[in-house]
Amino acid sequence: MRVVAAMSGGVDSAVAAARMLDAGHEVVGVHLALSQSAATLRESARGCCTIEDAGDARRVADRLGIPFYVWDMAQRFREDVVEDFIAEYAAGRTPNPCLRCNEKIKFAALLDKALALGFDAVATGHYAQIVEVPEGERTRRELHRAVDMAKDQSYVLGVLDADQLARSFFPLGDTTKPDIRTEAAARGFSIAKKPDSHDICFIADGDTRGWLEKRLGEQPGEIVGTDGTVLGEHRGSYGFTVGQRKGLGLRVPAADGAPRYVVETRPASNTVVVGTAELLGVDEITGDHARWCGPAPEGVVSVGAQVRAHGEEVPATAWADGDQVQVRLERRIRGVAPGQSVVLYDGTRVVGSATISSTGTSRRR
């Protein structure tokens, strides 16, 4: 196969490219330029899109002896990921930009361009597994969790559909991260000990609230209790998310001394509502924008539900209703915010995902 290896400049994508080459594929390395002002993503950046990263990717490609290109996707990234991120927070939701990047950039824009240029598939350094299941005279590809659960990234790949999975490779899914580093060193890659990227790549200092304030402006408002009592002020409700405890700056302590959490943000009135931890528990989730990694489930199915990239999986039942998904958890969990994604599992297999639009609590205890 002719394969585009997405090379971020990190150790994972480097080993993924090398493994695809070892498997006999014709491999071309591609680094995605995602910033329209590259100087803003340099030494202090903590993501995976710096100028230095592009240089690291090129050196690995040279060592492997494969062609290497930089594809400019800055405008698509700005429109589909960065502007979406800003709009979601402004609307009182909590988005996952890495999941949106996988959906819109790496497995839509990148894959579409690769196919248009005559390539057959895309390979990335994500920690997940593709399992081929016989189905009559053909095989069906399923997305499964990685062997290394500490690094498993199947959650952020839950937006992929069957057609995208058919043209995707994740060569690292059967290996632990320490073994990947050992392999990188054995291959002579200078980046074998390079730290992992983390946080949001376009927010270099990790200060999400400050970054949003620069783009949305200061919008002073009130922090109130569930009874409407004013407990403090804020500079923008967009800087808060459900479940948040730190950084509230409340001027009135709770009578019982118990910590308080954000239980709701109200963009229309620019109000942040805080309450006790008990108010955070939910066991009903409605999700929009359903994406299935295969056929949509029929009827009510038993699944595991996960609402954060490295959160725990909770037993649940779910059923599809057009573009929506209804999920009923077996027990209540805290800090589930609209805008997050719920990803459904059947064992290690990813069933699909949806963007959380609302949550609730059933009468059962």
Q: Which residues are catalytic?
A: 101, 201
Please, which residues have CB within 8 angstroms of residue 73's CB and are 6 or more apart in sequence? 32, 33, 34, 105, 109, 110
Q: Rounded to the nearest 5 degrees, what angle is found at the Cα of 135, between the Cα atoms of 134 and 141?
A: 65
Strand boundaries in the chain, DSSP class E: 2-6, 26-33, 68-72, 121-123, 129-135, 138-144, 168-169, 221-225, 230-234, 261-266, 271-275, 282-292, 301-306, 314-321, 324-333, 341-346, 349-360
Judge whether 8 and 197 are in contact, CB under 8 Å.
yes
- C-alpha span between 46 and 43 (Å, rounded): 8
Asked if residues 248 and 265 have their Cβ atoms less than 8 Å apart, the reply is no
Task: Check: CB of residue 133 under 8 Å from CB of residue 158.
Answer: no
Query: Which residues are 33's β-sheet partners?
Result: 72
One-letter amino acid identity for 19?
R
Residue 258 DSSP SS3: coil
Task: Give the separation between CA 272 and CA 223, rounded to whole angstroms.
Answer: 5
- Whole-angstrom distance, CA of residue 216 vs CA of residue 205: 18
CA distances from 81 to 96, 117, 201 (A): 9, 24, 11
What end-to-end distance do the CA atoms of the chain give, in Å?
Answer: 54
